Structure 1
Amino acid sequence: MTAGSEGARSGGLRRHLPLTFGLILLALLWGGPLPFRAGGSFAAYMMHMGVVAVAAPLLAFGIVRSAPTLASHVPGRLALLAAFVEFALVWGWHAPALHDAARESLAFRILEQGSFLFAGLFVWLTALSGHLGADRTGPGASRAAGVASLLVTSMHMTLLGALLLLSPRTLYACADLCAPFATMTPLEDQQLGGAIMLGVGGLAYLAGGLGLLASILVEHAPGAGGRR
């Protein structure tokens, strides 16, 4: 095997690393100890933040790198629609009736987790496709929409996290049935869940939006080799 072919093979493996890590993380989130612990802890139930804010961007980035042709079929102009879909799903599943149903029913829980993954992939793929994939030369409006979708999602994640963190009472009926960590009350468990949403969901989307915005600004900076 020549040095050139070895380098090409190594480069190919590196290209698939984000997708591999995303799939491993998803398997750990859904098949590890968290789903069992989530039955008695609101904070542990926030594993879906790992799905939408960590696994989803890894998977989306991996798809863009591993299958750019496939990613090019995801139009960036749908980014704001994707942000609205994620807003509706995230806030809808955190409504007390639906949240409690998902905690008590396996069928509802599967539907909830699947919709979180769909929403996260929809947002991140539409945001990234115009910046990193074959659609990179697409209209600037699509790339700006990708930035806006991530920043808007960061804001509503932050708002929901703050609501959970600052609420003076438990918001869900399952709090009466939950058995959180021995050192925590159900309200403190809910507050920890809100802090996780703030720290993981809010910051991940904020970092993603600012990162994509920085790439546009650098590309259009005086002396840059990008599009004008």
Structure 2
Amino acid sequence: MKRPALLAGLALFPAGWAAAAMGGMTGHMAGHMLAVAVAAPLVAWGLEGGALDPARRLPRLARPMPAMLVELAVVWGWHLPAARALADAGGAWLVVEQAMFLAAGLLLWSSVLATGPDRRASGVGALLLTSMHMTLLGALIGLAPRPLYAHGHGMEDQQLGGVVMLMVGAASYLIGGLAMLATLLRDGEARA
């Protein structure tokens, strides 16, 4: 277990709750990104190979492509206007939302980190597809011609929230995918 990464990830998760609780789309996106794109990879790296590693505990689900689909469903589902209204009201729904973001992110990152050289390409694909869907959702929110959420703090807040998702979400998964690709290429050269 890589204790510093685990502790950093666990410390960042409540910071995400605090950001999400600030309200508005910008706070929501900051909390969301802290959970799935910053805290989750740190926690996954900290748990990698240990008894609590989701990839070891849930081997059928903790595969890159199924985990990517779970993460996609969680992220897009919580951005439906009715679900956003529930989470923005605070309380238990906000906790459920943030816990689902962390769990989905942890499942994805754990499954990617657990891929051996024979399956590493699926980890690369899962992270790059996640980067693409995060980019798309961030662009849809940030470039929408009208407010998408009646309970938000206006157009500027929605646009800034979209930018946060674009910058942090897309970058985190793209960097992870490229790092995984570099590992795959390096392993391929070593075998050749």
Task: State TM-score, norm by structure 1.
Answer: 0.76
The amino acid across from 2:34 in the alignment is: G
Does the 8 A contact of 1:75 with 1:129 survive in 2? no
Q: Counterparts of 1:121 and 1:157 in 2: how far apart (Å)?
A: 16
Tell whether 2:83 aligns with 1:98. Answer: yes
Does the 8 A contact of 1:103 with 1:109 survive in 2? yes
Q: Counterparts of 2:95 and 2:105 in 1: how far apart (Å)?
A: 15
Distance 1:119-1:209 versus aligned 2 partners, 3 A rule: same
Q: Counterparts of 1:72 and 1:103 in 2: how far apart (Å)?
A: 31
SS at 1:220's partner residue?
helix
Q: Counterparts of 2:124 and 2:59 in 1: how far apart (Å)?
A: 14
Q: Counterparts of 2:90 and 2:53 in 1: how far apart (Å)?
A: 35
Q: Counterparts of 2:55 and 2:70 in 1: how far apart (Å)?
A: 21
| Residues paired across the two proteins, number | 189
Shift of 1:68: 7.0
Q: Counterparts of 2:37 and 2:20 in 1: how far apart (Å)?
A: 17
Give the match for residue 80 of structure 1. 65
Give the match for residue 3 of structure 2. 16
Give the match for residue 48 of structure 2. 64
Does the 8 A contact of 2:142 with 2:160 survive in 1? yes
Shift of 1:219: 1.2
Give the match for residue 29 of structure 1. 16
Larger radius of gyration: 1
Q: What runs of 5+ residues in structure 1 fail to find an aligned partner? A: 1-11, 131-135, 179-185
Q: How does 1:96-175 map to 2 (within 5 A)?
A: 96-130=81-115, 136=116, 140=118, 142-175=119-152
The amino acid across from 1:203 in the alignment is: A
Does the 8 A contact of 2:74 with 2:101 survive in 1? yes
Root mean square deviation, CA, Å: 2.1
Distance 1:88-1:36 versus aligned 2 partners, 3 A rule: closer
Q: Counterparts of 2:107 and 2:168 in 1: how far apart (Å)?
A: 18
Q: Counterparts of 2:70 and 2:138 in 1: how far apart (Å)?
A: 18
Tell whether 2:35 aligns with 1:51. Answer: yes
